Amino acid sequence: MRPRTWVLLLAAVFAVLQLANVTGRDTPDSKNYLSYALSLSGADKREAAAVTIDHYCAGRAAIAHRGQNVDVVRFHAPDPAPRVLEECRKQEWRAVEARLAAGEAGGHTVPFMPERFMRIFEVRPGYPVFLVPFVGLLGATWGLWAAGVVITCGGGVLVFLVLRTLSVPVPLALTGMALFFVLPCGTTAMRPMAEGLMLALTLAALWGCALVLEGRRTRAGVALVCAALFALFTVKHSQALFLGLCLAGAGAAVGVRRRWRGRAPGRGVAALAAAGCAGVLGTVLLARLLHYPSVSESVQDLLTDHFARPDRERPWAEFFQLQGNFWMEWLRRQLWEPLFVAALAAGAAGARRRPAFGAFLVAAAATGILNQAGHPDINIWGDRLITLAWLLPVLGVPLLLEPVVRRAVVPTQAAPVELVR
């Protein structure tokens, strides 16, 4: 079969497997994104609240039902789903009604939380805009599921394209695609949250880097990086800042390394570094121009449990103390179950086989570390904030295995463009 047939087959298998969990993937933040998308579709606050609350509480009820089915003591007890559904609806409506009565009806999101907290989501229109056609055509439950499948499969295809642009054999490019699906990045991308779109856009930027570094369509590659950074700004502007900063640093590191070895840095590397710098500068300027919440506001949100408590008088001192505590506990847990650390090490070893691209790959993965450092909360579900770091093994492990495969089979030398022929 042609490579594109394998890609489509792998994506189709992944999509079918996701039918096992159509409901129950939501987090509390999912309510904000869904209500934003419904508002963009034309729903008023109460209509958006009704659809969002029904969807969210149905997921909570489904989780309660599944949990009791396998509870060794209460598996034969009455189904808790109706009770959980009713209690959840009452709790959510009580909070929303109180805030609507207090006049908190501005913006696109339903006021599930204090106004200062909701402002953080108001400045993230990218993911809700992406959701609009799915939710409009399929409703909340199937729309969110279908959007997650499209985002995750798109990320897998981008992994394949990046590796083929680097002339990695087709079997290993498909391996990278499969790794994206089965590692935590695939699980996270399927959640109705912004992280899936962040993963896909970061991979788009890495594809642009690969196109430039391999000397293929340099202008298109740089344009792709710039477009990905701009799109990231609409999804989560701090991520655009992190990625621009890391890409600029990677470009500088590659340029210095080449100078050290008596070689010219190359126009492509300089262009990528410039694109990263432009992303940083553009993000800072646009965020200030649009009056986005500041870094200090984000720190207060973290330390006050989403503004449920009074603002901290010395937020930065407490923040840095929490940073030290967080990373010590994080490292302890990683050494206890070292899969993530081992995967990062394998990915880094593979990245060394393509030194220039490897620098940009490590830089993109480092944005996951920076994202986690900005929110040192050990209780956030599934390490989703650090998920971008999993891109290092997703792309690095196939590069690490490349010599073995090339010795074992005749490599496929066709250009990546064959995928769309």
Q: What is the DSSP string of 243-276?
A: HHHHHHHHHHHHHHHHHHTT----HHHHHHHHHH
Q: Which two tokens stand for residue 76?
A: 């034969």
Q: What is the residue extent of each domain of the chain?
A: 21-126, 197-420
Alpha carbons 68 and 77: distance in angstroms, whole number: 8
pLDDT the model gives residue 364:
97
pLDDT the model gives residue 417:
46
pLDDT the model gives residue 201:
98
Q: Is 374 helix (H, G, I), strand (E, B) or coil?
A: coil
Instruction: Report the interhelical angle of 218-235 vs 195-213 (nearest 10°).
Output: 160
Alpha carbons 416 and 164: distance in angstroms, whole number: 5
Reference 387, options 343, 325, 333; nearest CA is 343
Q: Is 353 helix (H, G, I), strand (E, B) or coil?
A: coil
Question: Apex CA 112: angle with CA 131 and CA 68, to 5°?
Answer: 85
Query: Long-range pairs for 59-62 at CB < 8 Å and ≥24 separation?
Result: 59/23, 59/24, 59/25, 59/26, 60/24, 60/84, 60/85, 60/88, 61/85, 61/88, 62/23, 62/24
Alpha carbons 321 and 304: distance in angstroms, whole number: 15
Alpha carbons 342 and 328: distance in angstroms, whole number: 18
How many residues comprise the chain? 421
pLDDT the model gives residue 410:
55
pLDDT the model gives residue 142:
96
Q: Which two tokens stand for residue 291?
A: 């009056």
DSSP state of 337: S
pLDDT the model gives residue 420:
42
Q: Which two tokens stand for residue 189?
A: 């991308």
Q: Is 95 exposed, middle or buried (0-12, 13-18, 19+ CB in 10 A)?
A: middle
Alpha carbons 306 and 376: distance in angstroms, whole number: 14
DSSP state of 103: T
Alpha carbons 36 and 53: distance in angstroms, whole number: 13
Alpha carbons 167 and 352: distance in angstroms, whole number: 15
Q: Using an 8 Å Cβ cutoff, are 390 and 198 in contact?
A: no
Reference 287, options 132, 119, 127, 130; nearest CA is 119
Greatest Cα-to-Cα distance within the chain, rounded to the nearest angstrom: 75
pLDDT the model gives residue 409:
64
Q: Which residues of the chain fall below pLDDT 50?
A: 411-421
CA distances from 76 to 65, 67, 72, 210 (A): 11, 12, 9, 56
Alpha carbons 205 and 161: distance in angstroms, whole number: 12
DSSP state of 105: -
Reference 407, options 169, 182, 237; nearest CA is 169
Q: Is 389 helix (H, G, I), strand (E, B) or coil?
A: helix
Alpha carbons 265 and 373: distance in angstroms, whole number: 31
Alpha carbons 11 and 374: distance in angstroms, whole number: 33
Q: How many helices (H) and strands (E) does the chain have?
A: 17, 0
pLDDT the model gives residue 238:
94
pLDDT the model gives residue 70:
92
